[in-house]
Amino acid sequence: MSATTRGFTRRQGPPWLPYLLTLPTALVVLVFTAWPTVQALYMSFFRQYLNIAKFRTPTFIGLKNYQTLATSPDFHQVLRNTAIYVLGTVPMSVVLAFLFALLVNRAVKGIGLARLGFFYPTILPMVSAATIWLFFFTPDYGLFNTALQAIGYHGPQNWLSNPHLALLAVMIVAVWKNAGYLMIFYLAGLQNLPTDVFEAADIDGASAWTKLWKITFPLLRRTTLFVSTIAIIDAFQVVDHIFVLTQGGPSGASNVFLYYLWQVRFEEQNVGLASALTVVLILIMLAITVTNFVYSEREGA
Amino acid sequence: MYRKRIVFVVLSLLLVLSMALAACGSQATPTAAPSQPTQAPAQPTAAPTQAPTQAQAPTQAPTQAKPVTIEVYYPVAVDAPIAKILQGYIADFEKANPNIKVKPVFSGGYGDVKTTIQTTIEGGGKPPALAVMLAADLYDLVNADYVVPLDDFIKASPDGEAYIKDFFPAFMANSEYDGKIWSIPFQRSVVTLYYNADLFEEAGLQPPDSWQSLAEAAQKLTIPDKRWGIEWPSGWPYWLFQPLAIGNGQNIIQSPTEVVFDDPKVIEAAQFYIDLSHKYHAMPEGVQKNWGSAPGDFAKGAAAMIVHSSGSLRGILNQADFKVGVMAVPGKEPGTYATVTGGGNFYILKNVPREEQEAAWKFVQFVTQPKYAADFSIQTGYVATRQSAYDTDAMKAYIEKVPQAGQLKDMLQYAGAELSCMNLGKVRNIFHKYLQAAYNGQMPPAEAMKQAQQEADKALEMFK
C-alpha cells in the first residue's frame, strides 16, 4: 500500500497532498470517535452524579466503577441477556437473510411482492415497528397470540410482561426487522456471482444442493463476514424497540447493554458508571470484530 | 500481505469504535416518549381568582421595548391535540404581548423533553427558557442545577401569593423543595378507577367502597375468555400501585430521602393486587403490559373496570356506549378511598437570559389563567389545576354535561403524594424491579419489598 501511495504522490503532486485529503476524515474520527473514547475512559475512573449536588464535581476513585459493575447483579443479568440476545438474533437474522435472498433471487412471477414483503420491515423506523408489535403482542386478541393459537399454542399470552418470554419477544421483533435488511447484501452478492463456475458444475452433473453448499455459500463468504459484523453491531446498538415494548422489564428480564447504559446515564445520572459501561462496551465490540476478522482471514488464507 | 492486514485491522477497529460511539451518542434520542407511559394527563391551572387579564398586567417589564423570543419544550403524553390547543393559547398570548414570541417545540414524551434538556445543558448549549416536565422529577432537576426557583418572579408579580395559593395543594405538593417554589402545575392528572355503571346496575352492585367489595365486584363481573372484572396496568407500575398503598394507610414516599417499601401495609397492598388475579381470578395474571390497550378494552366492554389516568376520560367517553363511572380507588377499610397525582409542571430553565426567563414567567401566568386552565381541562381531560378554573362558566357548563369531570376534581381530597424523591430514576427502577417480581410470582411480596427497601436505602444514603 505504501508503495502505491509513493508512486501516486510522485506522479500527482506534493508529498503532503494525501495527508491533506485525508484530513477531514481524520478530523471527524478524532473529534467524534477518538476523543470521546479517551474521555469515556478518563471519566470511568471518577465518581460523578449529576443529580447529587455534592457529587456533581468529579472525584477520582480509581477502578471503583469497574468494581461496582463486577459485583452488580443487575449488570450480570444485563450481560447474560445481551449474550442471549446477540447469540439468538444474529445467527437467526443471517440465516433468514440468506434464505430470503435465495428465494427472491429467482425470476419467478410475483417475486417482486415477496421482495417487498421481506424488505418492508426495514423501511419502517424501529419505533414505529415496535409500536405495531406492541399491538400484535396484546394478550387475548393481539395478532401474534391469535396466530399462535391457530397453530395450537396455549401457553402464556402476556409475552412482554412474562419474565421468561419478554426477552424472546424483543428478539423476535429484532429478527423480523433485520433479516430483510441483511437480505439485500446477500441478494447483491448472489447477483454478482460468476456464472462460469455454475456452468462447470452443471457439466459435472452437480446437484442443486451441492452447488449451494460447495459453490454459492463459499463464494459468499465475504458477504457473510460483512453481514454478520453488521448484525452483531446492530444487535448491540439498536434498542429503540425496548423503549417501546418492555422498558427492559419485567424486573430487568429484557434489559440489554445499551438500554442499561441509557438508564444509568440518563435516569440515574451516574456519569462515572456510565463511562465505565461505555468502555466495557467498546472492549466487547473490539474483541468481537477482531476475532471475527482474524478468524475469517485465516480461513481464507 | 501482512502489512495490508494490519492496515485493515486498524481500519476496522476504527469503524467499530465509531459505531460503538455512535450508539452511545444516539441513545439519547429514542428514549423519551415511550419510557414514561404512566403519566397521563394533568390538569391545567387556572389563574387565581382575579380576572383573566392578570397575566397581561404590565407589572413586570412594563416597557419592554426589545422583542424577546422564547422556546417552550413540551411533551405530548395523552391522546389529545395538545399541540393545536397550545398553539391557540400562544396566539392569544402574543396578541396580548406583542414583544414576546413563543416558539413551542413538541419533542416526544416527558422522557424526551428531559433528555433533550439534559444533553443541551451538559453540552454547554442554551436550553429553552421554559419546559413542561414531570412534577415528580423536581429533586433531580433542582439537584442537577437545570432549573431556577420561581420565588423572585412570584414576589414581583401583583397578587403573586394569591396566584400560588389558588392551585390545589395536592398539585403544589411537588413544587416545593428547600423552601422554594420551582414549578407551576400545568397538565396534571389523578389515578382513576373507571367502572362500567351499566354492568354494575345489571348485576345489582354498588360502586365499591373497600378492597373487599372491589374484589367481589370484579369477580362477579368476570366472564372467562370474554370479560375481565378489572384491568390494572403494571408495565410501569409505581404510579397505579400507589393508591393501593395509600388506601392501606401507608404511602411509599415519606420524605425526599425516605421511601417506605417494606412496611407490612405496603406488602399487603401488593398482595391484594396479586389476589385480584390469583384468588379472585378477576384480573389478568402477573405484570400487565396494557397501559395502551386498557382504555379501549374498557370502552368496548372487555373489562368491567380499569385503573388508569384521569387523562383517559375524554377518550373513554368518546368511545363508550354505556354509562362511565369514575371514582378514586377504594381503600382497604370500607368508606376509604385513595388516589395519587401525576403529570407535568412548568419549569423555567437555567443558562437563559433574564429577559427570556421573565417572558417565560409571563407566559406561564397567562396560560394558567382560569379561562385557559378550564379550557385545557375540557379539551384534554387533564384536571384543572386551580380552584378558580372550576368557577368559570365554561367549566360549570361542561361539568353539567360531563359530571365525571367534576368528580375527578373531587377525588383530589383523597390524593397522596406521587413517588418523588432524590435520585428518583434509580429509586424508581429499584421499586419497579421488585414490585414486578412480586406481581410475577418470582418472589413473595414480603421478600421483594424488603430487598427493594435495602437497595433504595443505599441509593438514598448519599443524600443524608
pLDDT at A50: 87
Q: Kindly state whether residue B7 falls inside one of the protein's structural domains.
A: no
pLDDT at B52: 40
Q: Collect all residues with Cβ–Cβ distance below 8 Å to A81 and sequence separation of at least 6.
A: A167, A252, A253, A254, A255, A256
Do B44 and B130 share a domain, yes or no?
yes
Q: Which helix (H) or strand (E) holds A165?
A: none
Residues of chain B in contact with residue A56, where contact means CB-CB under 8 angstroms, are 144-145
**What number of other Cβ atoms are within 10 A of residue B403's Cβ?**
11
Annotated domain spans of chain A: 72-269
Instruction: List Cα–Cα distances, B68 to B86, B183, B346, B359, B360, in angstroms.
Output: 19, 22, 19, 7, 10
Q: Which helix (H) or strand (E) holds A272?
A: helix A271-300
Q: Kindly state whether residue B392 falls inside one of the protein's structural domains.
A: yes
Q: Kindly state whether residue B65 falls inside one of the protein's structural domains.
A: yes
pLDDT at A38: 93
The three grid cell numbers given for residue B151, joined into one nine-digit string: 420565588
Q: Compute the count of residue pairs across chains A and B with CB atoms less than 8 Å apart.
A: 180
Q: Collect all residues with Cβ–Cβ distance below 8 Å to A29 and sequence separation of at least 6.
A: B14, B18
From the list A134, A263, A289, the residue facing B292 with the nearest CB is: A134
Residues of chain B in contact with residue A51, where contact means CB-CB under 8 angstroms, are 139-140, 143-144, 422-423, 425
In whole angstroms, give the CA distance from residue B408 to residue B411. Answer: 5
Q: Kindly state whether residue B27 falls inside one of the protein's structural domains.
A: no
Q: Kindly state whether residue B16 falls inside one of the protein's structural domains.
A: no
Least reliable range by pLDDT among A7-16, A26-35, A79-88, A174-183: A7-16
CATH of domain A72-269: 1.10.3720.10
Q: Kindly state whether residue B84 falls inside one of the protein's structural domains.
A: yes
Do B184 and B257 share a domain, yes or no?
no
A217 vs B273, more confident: B273
CB contact under 8 A, B17 and A266: no
pLDDT at A153: 85
Could you read off the pLDDT tens digit of each residue along chain B, which spans 464 residues?
Answer: 444 454 444 444 444 444 444 444 333 333 333 333 334 433 333 333 344 444 444 444 444 457 899 999 998 877 677 888 999 999 999 999 999 999 999 878 888 899 899 889 888 889 999 999 999 999 999 998 999 999 999 999 888 889 999 999 999 988 999 899 999 999 999 999 999 999 999 999 999 999 999 999 999 999 998 999 999 999 999 999 999 999 999 999 999 999 999 999 999 999 999 999 999 999 999 999 888 889 999 999 999 999 999 988 888 998 999 999 999 999 999 999 999 999 999 999 999 999 999 999 999 999 999 999 999 999 888 999 999 999 999 999 999 999 999 999 999 999 999 999 999 999 999 999 999 999 999 999 999 999 999 999 999 998 87
**What is the residue-averaged pLDDT of chain A?**
87
- Chain B closest CA to A255's CA: distance in Å? 11
Q: Collect all residues with Cβ–Cβ distance below 8 Å to B292 and sequence separation of at least 6.
A: A134, B37
Specify the DSSP class assigned to residue B231.
B
pLDDT at B180: 94
From the list A33, A49, A249, the residue facing B21 with the nearest CB is: A33
pLDDT at A10: 54
Chain A segment 81-120 residues within 8 A of B by beta carbon are none
pLDDT at B134: 94
Q: How many domains does chain B have?
A: 2
Do B115 and B241 share a domain, yes or no?
no
pLDDT at B101: 94
A34 pLDDT higher than 80: yes
Do B410 and B262 share a domain, yes or no?
no
Do B452 and B401 share a domain, yes or no?
no
Give which of B178, B421, B429 to mutate to test A binding, by max A Cβ within 10 Å. B429
pLDDT at B1: 43
* Reported confidence tier of residue A11, pLDDT bands at 50, 70, 90: low
From the list B289, B292, B440, the residue facing A163 with the nearest CB is: B440
Q: What mean pLDDT is predicted for residues A159-179?
A: 93
In whole angstroms, give the CA distance from residue A289 to residue A186. Answer: 20
Do B326 and B213 share a domain, yes or no?
yes
Do B381 and B263 share a domain, yes or no?
no
Chain A segment 201-230 residues within 8 A of B by beta carbon are none
CATH code of B306's domain: 3.40.190.10
Chain A segment 17-76 residues within 8 A of B by beta carbon are 29, 32-34, 36-37, 40, 49-56
Check: CB of residue A264 under 8 Å from CB of residue A270: yes
Residue B152: which domain range?
Answer: 39-189+342-416
Do B57 and B199 share a domain, yes or no?
no
Do B253 and B136 share a domain, yes or no?
no
Do B224 and B329 share a domain, yes or no?
yes
A49 φ, ψ to 5°? -110, 120
For A49-95, how does the pLDDT look when each residue is reduced to its tens digit (9 = 90+)? 888 888 888 999 999 999 999 999 999 999 999 999 999 999 999 99
Q: Kindly state whether residue B28 falls inside one of the protein's structural domains.
A: no
Task: Tell me if chain B has a CB within 8 Å of the CB of A155.
Answer: no
pLDDT at B18: 46
Do B263 and B291 share a domain, yes or no?
yes
Residues of chain A in contact with residue B145, where contact means CB-CB under 8 angstroms, are 53, 56
Do B315 and B365 share a domain, yes or no?
no
From the list B31, B114, B288, the residue facing A243 with the nearest CB is: B31
pLDDT at A41: 94
CB contact under 8 A, A266 and B28: yes
Specify the DSSP class assigned to residue A267.
I
Chain A segment 262-281 residues within 8 A of B by beta carbon are 262-263, 265-270, 278, 281
Residues of chain B in contact with residue A236, where contact means CB-CB under 8 angstroms, are 20, 23
A3 vs B241, more confident: B241
DSSP A185-249: HHHHHHHTS-SHHHHHHHHHT--HHHHIIIIIHHHTHHHHHHHHHHHHHHHHH--HHHHHHTTT-
* Reported confidence tier of residue A109, pLDDT bands at 50, 70, 90: confident
In angstroms, how far is the first alpha carbon of chain A from the final one? 19
From the list B13, B234, B436, the residue facing A289 with the nearest CB is: B13
Q: Which residues pair with B105 in a beta bridge?
A: B73
- Chain A closest CA to B18's CA: distance in Å? 5
This complex has an ipTM of: 0.85
